[in-house]
Structure 1
Amino acid sequence: MGIPVKVDSVYEVVIEDIGTDGEGIGHIAGFTVFVPRAVIGDRVSVKIDKVGKRYAVGHIESVVEPSDYRIQPLCPVANRCGGCHIQAMAYDAQLAYKTRHVKDALQRIGGFDDVSVLDTIGMERPWHYRNKAQLPVGVFSGRPVMGFFAAGTHDIVDIDTCPIQHPAVDAAIKAVKDYVSSYNVAVYDEMTGKGLLRHIMVRVGFNSGQVMVVPVINGDSIPHAKEFTDMLRQNIDGLASVVLNINRRRTNVILGSQCKVIYGNDHIMDTLCGLTFKISPLSFFQVNPRQTEVLYTKAIEYAGLDGTQTVLDAYCGIGTISLIAAQKAAKIYGIEEIQQAVDDARENARLNDISNVEFICAKAEDAIGRFIEDKVRIDVIIMDPPRKGCDKGFLETAVRLCPERMVYVSCNPATLARDMRFLADHGYKATAVQPVDMFPHTTHVETVVLMSRVEK
């Protein structure tokens, strides 16, 4: 049987599911077709743009019959912006998809057919939830543009407001556009590597109200710096910090390593789960503070701490989980390979007067072995790795430590399933799986899992 579709031909497709990048998935005579911006249950007229051996990609020509889950996106540029893949899907349907996505990964990749996955915990109001934005700056028809890249491109979708960002971001956009126009500031051109202003990063302390603005520049300074900070102050309530980030490299990496303060402090402060945290331009801090509290509270619950345990927190970042857990544990060891994050973690421990935490700067897979060598008893391991999951060497040593519980916080269901399979094959059983919606209107989902040691 040959491929049943042709490029530039139009077909009617029923969308059965969505993929990890938010694209609708349907079939024509059993042949898979991916359709961006489609919603589960849509019947759409699709023009085929690309045909491969195993699948085709097309775009919506028209919605023949909208899904019961299809809604009008709140954002006027949702269909062009690369930020929110599934804003046209009703929020309860988004949550159901994320639960199913985790279940499917555990079954397909991990072989877990009997593990119960709880319903995804969503937000009561899933808007204006982000505390950080990174906005490319450009020029179009002689006027400054700022926003987010269109999906799969570096074309800037110009915005004045974003419904998932804190309102301070909207104020920063206005101020920066006014500044660029008023002083004819040269905007960076990716093709030539010339121009000054590349990106604007905005960070907001949801609880403190403090705001940081970070212009990313291809140089050492910006013209009319005082006028720029005055514009920001006039537009942004709570402005506490303006820091230049210098990035002269021809790269897609947004931030450079060097920072210069031009107004206020070199950091902002915020609170999470009752603790105070110092946030610098290069610090990692979860972007949805409301749901982060839900996620971390669940992780601490799964750890089962009663004040007597020694806990190993791997991939600990600036120490958020470590410091929260320290209030209910005897001793915490946090492992993180980025020195700046470890410095921030130690500072955050000092700020909160927490002394039963020790932070180690090393790769998790390198540092964990010393606990076996030093015969340190570890009762609980908490791990919050990047999307690639845990290093296999780390997991191999973790099971040798024989903790009673392992709590896995994951941002990628696929690598979570892989690592859970390893732990299950080495004496641990998944006893709780809880997805949490940290990123409404996108396909991303966080999951916290309790793996308990099986008594032999």
Structure 2
Amino acid sequence: MREAEVRIEALAYGGSGVGRLEGKVVFVAGAAPGDVLRFRTIREKKQFIEGELITLLQPSSERRVAPCPVFGRCGGCQWQHLLYTRQVYWKDRIIADFLSRQAGVSADLVKPLLAAEDEWGYRSRVQFKCRQTPTGFVMGFYRRGSHFVIDVAACPIAAPEINRALTLFRTWLPASPCPDAIPQVDLAVDDEGHLAAVVHCLAADPQPLADYLAPRVREQGMALYLQRGRKDTLAEVQGPEELYIHPLPQSSLRLAYAIGGFAQVNLAQNRRLVDALLHAAGELSGKRILDLYCGMGNFSLPLALAGAEVVGVEDFSPAIVQAERNAVANGLSARFLSRPALRALTHDLRTERFDLVVLDPPRAGARDIVPELLRLRPARILYVSCDPATLVRDLKPLVHNGYRVTGARGIDLFPQTYHLESLTCLQTG
């Protein structure tokens, strides 16, 4: 493997610093724009090189000292070494470059990224990996690119309540009946301060672990569940069964989601995302809206509260049950379908018409439903994406068949990482 020097000029989606050497693009993890560094080649292809940072010859002014002692080894964060103002700048650049270069979106249509008010302590859900080793019980995160667990005492991007619970479980689990049978602990806190733990247990009989943990978590006012495999093995040890989010600022709207279920990990930024989507949707009274990949109603019910007639579609049936309960609990009317989005569009909703379609697909995007969106042809589409690559892939057929992008912006739900959410608005004509 050869070594060489390079100056880092930019950041790539994926987190690596980007430079150029001998006509090839060079990607180096842990680098910052402005760095001059020496790297070792890990992989080299015709057009690019992937390198490992060996020596920082001239540090960039965009750098700072990462506060986490395991940063660079833990596989979670990629950008703790960057000033947050520069993280925001580069996320803005990344989403704008994807949209302009690959989807032909004019730069003046991309609004500034909604930066997080708190760059630390924002994660409301964290999965901690566990391992019983010859030297003791470790609880933390996988080392980058491996299944080796790095022990952590606290995570700077986790909510304070989660770090307090982590301290407790790090004390409890080594002395539990089966520390060698616990591969993972999921901790979550909601908008009301309720804490819940899901302890994954591979023991043939998990009851001794349940009996051991129950009085301890009860004293802390924490919910506890054990999971023995897939999600359908989740068993309550101590309730409650639900956590709650408040998806709108200055509103009494209160949405429940099941412990072990999905809600955005950055609750404060989720409120800003929902607020941005409502503003982008405009006047909603009397409008028919289709919300695809609706989950437990994070967008559907704020839209219904604003006066829209909403149909929500989600293929995970427990989330639909939750969405229906949330509608009743908040005195709202909405129709929910437990279906894959494609099936709903080709069967249940084939003859219906909608003024607006909202979609928030998983990272893989929504390629399979784009032809059906073109057939359905709503006047407007609001596309929420967590991956700019699949976003622009899905936008291309829309903009080539009569839709135009009228606005877009990033929302930073994941400070200290390269991940970002975005909202893109399209309309016909």
TM-score over 0.5 for the pair: yes
Q: Hey, which bits of structure 1, 4+ residues long, moved more than 6 A?
A: none
Distance change in 2, residues 1:62/1:430 (3 Å): same
| Counterpart residue number, 1:182 | 175
Given that 1:197 and 1:217 are in contact with CA atoms closer than 8 Å, whether structure 2 keeps it comes out as yes
Paired position in structure 2 for 1:209: 193
Partners of 1:21 and 1:145 in 2: how far apart?
Answer: 28
Residue-pair matches, total = 425
1:316 Cα deviation after fit: 0.6
Aligned partners of 1:123 and 1:314: how far apart in 2? Answer: 26
Relative to the length of structure 2, the TM-score reads 0.94
Match of 2:285 in 1: 307
Over 3 Å counting, the alpha-carbon distance change for 1:453 and 1:228 in structure 2 is same
Residue of structure 2 aligned with 1:246, choices 209, 212, 228 = 228
Give the match for residue 191 of structure 1.
Answer: none
2:322 aligned to 336, 344, 364, which one? 344
Q: Deviations over 1:232-278 (max 9, x none)?
A: 355x5x52x1011111xxxxxxx532111111222223322132122
1: CA distance between counterparts of 2:367 and 2:339?
A: 13
Aligned letter for 2:89? A
1:327 aligned onto 2:305: yes
The letter for the 2-side match of 1:379 is D
Question: Does 2:92 align with 1:99?
Answer: yes
Amino acid at match of 1:361: S
Q: Which residue in the other structure is 2:344 paired with?
A: 367
Q: CA deviation at 1:55?
A: 3.0
Instruction: Give 2:355's aligned residue.
Output: 379
1:162 corresponding residue in structure 2? 155
Residue pairs, 1:20-419, within 5 angstroms: 20-113=13-106, 116-183=109-176, 185-187=178-180, 196-205=181-190, 207-219=191-203, 220-234=205-219, 236=220, 238-239=221-222, 241-247=223-229, 255-273=230-248, 274=251, 275-355=253-333, 357-370=334-347, 373-374=350-351, 376-392=352-368, 394-419=369-394
Q: Deviations along 1:24-55, whole A, 9 cap, x unmatched?
A: 22222223322111111111122333434443
Q: Which consecutive unaligned segments of at least 5 residues does structure 1 have? A: 1-6, 188-195, 248-254
Query: Secondary structure at 1:139's aligned position in 2?
Result: strand
Q: Is the 8 A contact 2:184 2:199 kept in 1?
A: yes
After superposition, the C-alpha distances for 1:173-200 in whole angstroms (9 at most, x for unaligned) are: 222222232235232xxxxxxxx21100
Distance 1:185 1:11, change over 3 A: same
Give the distance between the partners of 1:351 and 1:303, measured in 2 at CA. Answer: 24
1:145 offset after TM fit, Å? 0.7
Cα 1:115–1:257 shift into 2, 3 Å: farther
Q: CA deviation at 1:372?
A: 6.0
Following the alignment from structure 1 to structure 2, what is the Cα–Cα distance between the partners of residues 271 and 120?
22
Q: Deviations over 1:56-83 (max 9, x none)?
A: 3332222111111011112121121111
- Residue in 2 that maps onto 1:451: 426
8 Å Cα contact 1:424-1:430 kept in structure 2 = yes
Q: Secondary structure at the match of 1:329?
A: coil
Q: Residues of 2 paired with 1:118 and 1:141: CA distance?
A: 53
CA contact (8 A) 1:311 1:329 kept: no
Superposition RMSD in Å: 1.9
- Which range is displaced more, 53-62 or 377-386? 53-62
- Alpha carbons 2:177, 2:209 under 8 Å: kept: no
Residues of 1 paired with 2:288 and 2:176: CA distance? 57
For residues 128 and 350 of structure 2, the distance between their equivalents in structure 1, rounded to whole angstroms, comes to 47
Deviation at 1:115, TM superposition (A): 5.8
SS in 2 for 1:120: strand
Per the alignment, residue 13 of structure 1 pairs with 6
Q: State the TM-score, normalizing by the size of structure 1.
A: 0.88
- The corresponding residue for 1:3 is none
C-alpha distance in structure 2 between counterparts of 1:372 and 1:57, whole Å: 47
Asked if the contact 1:322–1:332 (Cα under 8 Å) also holds between the matched residues in 2, the reply is: yes
For residue 200 of structure 1, what is the amino acid of its counterpart?
Answer: V
Aligned residues of 1:429 and 1:452 also touching (Cα < 8 A): yes
Which has the larger displacement, 207-216 or 31-40?
31-40
SS in 1 for 2:234: strand
1:193 alignment counterpart: none
Is contact 2:178-2:209 (8 Å) kept?
A: no
Moved more, 335-344 or 134-143: 134-143
Deviation, structure 1 residue 366: 1.4
- Relative distance call for 1:330 and 1:70 in structure 2 (3 A) is closer
Q: Find the residue that maps to 2:254 and give its secondary structure.
A: strand
Question: Any conservation in 2 of the 1:69–1:90 contact (CA below 8 Å)?
Answer: yes
Residue identity opposite 1:419 in structure 2: D
Alpha-carbon distance, 1:222 to partner: 4.5
Distance between the aligned counterparts of 1:278 and 1:110, measured in 2? 37
Mapped to 1, the partners of 2:400 and 2:182 lie a distance apart of 51
Check the 8 A contact 1:11/1:46 in 2, yes or no. yes
Identity of aligned residues (%): 29
How much does 1:108 deviate?
A: 3.1
Shift of 1:212: 0.5
Q: Which amino acid aligns with 1:390?
A: A
* Distance (whole Å) between structure 1 residues aligned to residue 16 and residue 107 of structure 2: 29
